[in-house]
Amino acid sequence: MPDSPSAPLNPTAVTDELRRTALQLGFSSVGICPAIEPPGWPNFLQWLELGFAGEMRYLPDRRDAYQHPSHVLDNARSLVMLTMDYRTVAARTPAAGRGRISRYAWGPADYHDVIHDRLHQLCDWLRDRIPSCHARGVVDTAPLLERDFASLAGLGWVGKHTLLLNRDRGSYFFLAALLTDKILSYDTPTTTDYCGSCTACLDACPTEAFAQPYVLNATRCISYLTIEHRGPIDPDLRPLMQDWIFGCDVCQDVCPWNRKNPVYSGEAAFQPVDTNNPANLLDILRLDEEAFRRRFRNTPLWRVKRRGLIRNVLIALGNQQDPRTIDSIALALDDPEPLIRGAAAWALSQMPDPNYVQAQLRQRLKTESDEIVKEELQRALG
């Protein structure tokens, strides 16, 4: 029943209804906490100081906004923290010529669109129920330390791999938040860390991206390198990236909380497209801009654009060192995009046919005008 200006709000009744509505909309769990300074704020500042955010300028640029949710919604009083599971089928073991995509991006749709749609419905429901309320739903893009608030809302703890972990759900879920200026009934925060003496995620990380438990140096993380980092990738890190072309699931895959009670999503938008689990590297390498758009528009992979994804594909091909792919890689030396030409030079330099490779690289060097690509070519020749 909608509130009236004179009737006092019953936070418990509204919260119970809100919870039920969120679950009906497809969210898998709901926790509610007050809008306060997040407990991890000092750690976040220190993390930024250490330069671990790399090129993610949107983090330091909005540094102060992370201090309080009122920077996301004026007069925010409460946060409704929501999870949506995305685990579907098992990851297939990639054979030669295949590359791995993080499981959250296997589906035919971008999760931002899916979750925003549900958040809008939840906000509409809340505004109907409490006409005087203001509400805003956010997923990923607002200056909000979501994991801290999810923990405050009783949804789990932040594991050593720095992701939110829940004893029943593991960590394969998206996190979203609905902020409102109304006081709701709050959940008990999660205060226990169930990682114990486990170090599986720290030990398994292919790039040693954890500066210490609970601290990720994003500049070494494959997820950051394949998605956020826009330029050439540090040559020392390329061999460590294995066959990951978009994101990385290693630290989650090894986590016992994800192995114990797997929770599967029935959400149609997250069911895997056959070509994403895993992906055919040469098929992606052949995509021009239009074909890339047709295949990846409206999916999470659109974010990295053709240039970023093909850079990643070339690194994966270089790591696989399959001589059958040499000609296709050599063709990429003539791509209009310098980032792709540079990655092709590196990939060729990893191949087991030095005479052919050297001839291709020298030929390209004669006409190459981009200084960064020239450096890549020279390094590959050297």
Active-site residues, by number, are 140
**Most distant CA pair in the chain: distance in Å?**
84
Q: Kindly state the smallest distance separating residue 299's Cβ from ligand SF4, in Å.
A: 19
Residues in contact with ligand SF4, counted by CB under 6 A, come to a total of 24
Considering only residues 101, 155, 179, 205, which one is a binding residue for ligand SF4 as defined by CB under 6 A?
Answer: 205
Q: Kindly state the smallest distance separating residue 196's Cβ from ligand SF4, in Å.
A: 7
78-85 and 98-101 beta bridge pairing: unpaired
Distance between CA atoms of residues 216 and 224, nearest Å: 11
Q: Does 226 interact with ligand SF4 (rule: CB under 6 A)?
A: no
Considering only residues 161, 182, 229, 306, which one is a binding residue for ligand SF4 as defined by CB under 6 A?
Answer: 161
Q: Taking CB under 6 A as the rule, which mask of x and - marks residues 16-55 in contact with ligand SF4?
A: ----------------------------------------
Q: Taking CB under 6 A as the rule, which mask of x and - marks residues 175-204 in contact with ligand SF4?
A: --------------------x--xxxx---
Tokens of 233: 């990738």
Q: Which is nearer to ligand SF4, 228 or 335 (CB)?
A: 228
Q: Does 304 interact with ligand SF4 (rule: CB under 6 A)?
A: no
Amino acid at 183: I
Given the rule CB under 6 A, which of 114-122, 124-132, 249-257, 346-354 is the region that contacts ligand SF4? 249-257
Q: Kindly state the smallest distance separating residue 138's Cβ from ligand SF4, in Å.
A: 23
- DSSP class of residue 227 equals I
Considering only residues 119, 248, 313, 348, which one is a binding residue for ligand SF4 as defined by CB under 6 A?
Answer: 248
Distance between CA atoms of residues 238 and 257, nearest Å: 29
Judge residue 116's burial from the number of C-beta atoms within 10 Å of its C-beta, 0-12 exposed, 13-18 middle, 19 or more buried. middle
Q: Kindly state the smallest distance separating residue 160's Cβ from ligand SF4, in Å.
A: 4
Q: Does 377 interact with ligand SF4 (rule: CB under 6 A)?
A: no
Site for ligand SF4 in 106-135 (CB under 6 A): none
Considering only residues 77, 118, 160, 341, which one is a binding residue for ligand SF4 as defined by CB under 6 A?
Answer: 160
Q: Does 222 interact with ligand SF4 (rule: CB under 6 A)?
A: yes
Distance between CA atoms of residues 224 and 247, nearest Å: 7
Distance between CA atoms of residues 128 and 143, nearest Å: 27
Distance between CA atoms of residues 66 and 277, nearest Å: 35
Considering only residues 111, 246, 257, 292, which one is a binding residue for ligand SF4 as defined by CB under 6 A?
Answer: 257
Q: How many CB atoms lie within 10 A of CB 95?
A: 9
Q: Kindly state the smallest distance separating residue 205's Cβ from ligand SF4, in Å.
A: 3
Q: Kindly state the smallest distance separating residue 327's Cβ from ligand SF4, in Å.
A: 31
Q: Which is nearer to ligand SF4, 160 or 306 (CB)?
A: 160
Given the rule CB under 6 A, which of 214-222, 282-290, 357-365, 367-375 is the region that contacts ligand SF4? 214-222
Q: Which is nearer to ligand SF4, 166 or 299 (CB)?
A: 166
- Closest Cα partner for 276 from 241, 300, 307? 300
Cα dist from 27 to 60, 121, 243, 299, whole Å: 30, 12, 32, 20
Tokens of 169: 């759900």
- Closest Cα partner for 135 from 83, 94, 176? 176
Amino acid at 161: H
Q: Kindly state the smallest distance separating residue 257's Cβ from ligand SF4, in Å.
A: 6
Sheet holding 173-180, edge to edge: 29-34, 78-85, 173-180, 135-138
Q: Kindly state the smallest distance separating residue 314's Cβ from ligand SF4, in Å.
A: 19
Amino acid at 212: Q
Q: Does 223 interact with ligand SF4 (rule: CB under 6 A)?
A: yes
Give the burial string for 317-350 (b: 16+ CB within 10 Å, else e). Answer: bbbbebeebbebbbebbebebbbbbbbbbbbbbb
Amino acid at 233: I
Cis peptide before 278 (omega within 30 of 0): yes
Which residues bind to ligand SF4, rule: CB under 6 A?
A: 159-161, 165, 195, 198-201, 205-207, 209, 216, 221-223, 248, 250-251, 254-257
